[in-house]
Chain A
């Protein structure tokens, strides 16, 4: 009986490990090296999809826009769906599950982190936050 439980646990662990590797594997080489850079710049602390998720849903009052905003204001609660910019222009889905072009070009990723972190949090995001965010997005596939 006990052996069986161990076996199941071990199997679950392997599956979990494999799925993590698969997630990371979905990032192309340039993106993986961007992730390595984030990791190095954030002191080597492992990224967490959960923290990325929290960041994605974090609502805050913008001091100048005078309204509560979050990533979801434009990218929706479900990032697999199309979003809308503040002026109502459609945004292609952010989730790589429905949009393979996402998180594929480091330059683009960096540009949009810079734009949108400032737009929502009124500051740039830390390397840890960026790594968490991408880890969360990649886990949605």
Chain B
């Protein structure tokens, strides 16, 4: 009985050490890449820490979400949104056929909530990872690629996922701005 308890105690100790090590390893890695920890506390737009803005703009929703996932504006910097909206008649081979008013409304929503203004932890990490570049695809943002590096490319081709750009297929809380690992559920097919 006593021996069993000792083993249990040692077991718990080892387990907790392992958990701690992995957490620290992750932090160190982040530290290396992005300098020491930064807190992004700008305003209280978010429900909780680690939440991206909940997309609420009607024009952005109706014009963009028919074709692709409604990306949170804070996943790209202002300059990227400006470039994307400027080229809205040549949007990856499609003419979005936006009238002036709608185009302006979407642009102002996206730039007004871009990565520079986002208060989620991801906004800051995304900004740091892209440096001075202006990526046009969220799927090419170094930080986002890094976070998904362990997922095999085949997984994104599964029928219910479709492609790497369908964030909501696996990030079950995406509509609420939740991209935490805890709420990820990868469909099997």
Chain A residues near B68 (CB-CB < 8 A): 85, 87, 89
Scoring B93, B165, B166 by chain A CB atoms within 10 A of each residue's CB, the highest score goes to B93
Chain B residues near A115 (CB-CB < 8 A): 94-97
Q: Bound complex: CA of A105 vs CA of B6, how far in Å?
A: 73
Select one of A62, A89, A111, A118 contacting B67, CB under 8 A.
A89
Select one of B94, B161, B165 contacting A119, CB under 8 A.
B94
Q: Using a CB-CB cutoff of 8 Å, which residues 139-171 of chain B contact chain A?
A: 161-163, 165-166
| Total number of B residues with any Cβ neighbor in A under 8 Å | 14
Asked whether A91 lies within 8 Å of B166 as measured between CB atoms, the reply is: no
Chain B: CB-nearest residue to A118:
B95
Chain A: CB-nearest residue to B94:
A119
Q: Using a CB-CB cutoff of 8 Å, which residues 80-126 of chain A contact chain B?
A: 84-89, 91, 111, 114-116, 118-119
Is B69 located at the chain interface by the 8 A CB criterion?
yes
Is A64 located at the chain interface by the 8 A CB criterion?
yes
Is B132 located at the chain interface by the 8 A CB criterion?
no
Select one of B66, B97, B163 contacting A88, CB under 8 A.
B163
Interface residues of B (CB under 8 A from A): 66-69, 93-97, 161-163, 165-166
A-B CB contact pairs (8 Å), 20 listed: A62-B93, A64-B93, A86-B67, A87-B67, A87-B68, A87-B162, A87-B163, A88-B162, A89-B67, A89-B68, A89-B69, A89-B162, A91-B66, A111-B97, A115-B95, A115-B96, A115-B97, A116-B94, A118-B97, A119-B93
